[in-house]
């Protein structure tokens, strides 16, 4: 494959795209441990772009890893259709169907029409979708909670415009716009 090269694990940095167990992955964290005898070890945390989840990998710093030559293009999410996401390039207006598996399950539930995202390509093949770190979404359902129920930073469950449910502070009400972390799916703040 033209978009790949092998490098020593000790040369792989955070943010790099590699192929592990046949799947495209992005390195999200690195740490290196050197021993007095022999070579050192590399500990990586990585996000599997083909499947949900963050994983860990430990290997010798002399081990070879396949690094992908990844490019990204800005797109706009339009809608989902069964197991596909339909996105549009903002300049050419070209629409493209992507496998929904390129986006994590939680992240799919945060997508609204017009969400800006980046499609990651290895050569011309889409291998992943990167959402902005935070999205602003509207609360469509919020139950009224008792004002006295505030021990220990009390929270309540709300439903967002996408159908996604999450815990928020008691002061959030229906119609409020909130900021949600796309990686964890958790409440960040009220949008003002």
Q: Is residue 178 located within the same domain as residue 159?
A: yes
Q: What would the two tokens of residue 182 be?
A: 């796309």
* Structural domains counted in the chain: 3
* CATH number, domain containing residue 116: 2.40.50.140
Q: Token pair for residue 140?
A: 């469509």
Q: Are both 31 and 20 inside the same structural domain?
A: yes
Domain boundary among 130, 160, 175: 130
Question: Which structural domain, as residue segments, surrounds residue 23?
Answer: 4-68
State the Cα–Cα distance between residues 61 and 98, nearest whole angstrom.
35
Residues in the chain: 192
**Helix, strand or coil for residue 66?**
strand
Same structural domain, 62 and 10: yes
pLDDT at position 146, please? 62
pLDDT tens-digit profile, the chain (192 residues): 445 689 898 888 888 899 888 888 889 899 988 877 767 899 999 988 777 678 899 998 889 999 988 888 999 999 988 889 999 999 999 999 998 888 888 888 999 999 999 998 888 889 888 889 999 999 999 987 666 666 667 889 999 999 999 999 999 999 999 999 998 899 999 998
């Amino acid at each position: 494959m033209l978009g790949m090269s092998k490098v020593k694990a000790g040369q792989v940095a955070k943010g790099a795209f590699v192929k592990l167990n046949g799947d495209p992955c992005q390195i999200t964290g690195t740490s290196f441990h050197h021993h007095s005898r022999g070579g050192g070890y590399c500990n990586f945390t990585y996000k599997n772009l083909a499947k949900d989840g963050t994983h860990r990998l430990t290997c010798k710093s002399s081990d070879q890893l396949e690094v992908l030559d990844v490019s990204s293009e800005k797109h706009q999410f339009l809608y989902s259709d069964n197991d596909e996401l339909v996105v549009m390039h903002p300049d050419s207006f070209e629409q493209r169907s992507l496998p929904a598996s390129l986006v994590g399950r939680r992240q799919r539930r945060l997508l609204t029409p017009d969400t800006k995202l980046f499609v990651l390509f290895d050569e011309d093949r889409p291998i992943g979708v990167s959402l902005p770190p935070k999205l602003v979404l509207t609360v469509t359902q919020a139950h009224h909670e008792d004002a006295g129920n505030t021990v220990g930073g009390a929270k309540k469950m709300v439903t967002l415009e996408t159908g996604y449910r999450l815990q928020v502070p008691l002061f959030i009400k229906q119609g409020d716009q909130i900021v949600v972390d796309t990686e964890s799916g958790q409440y960040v703040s009220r949008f003002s």
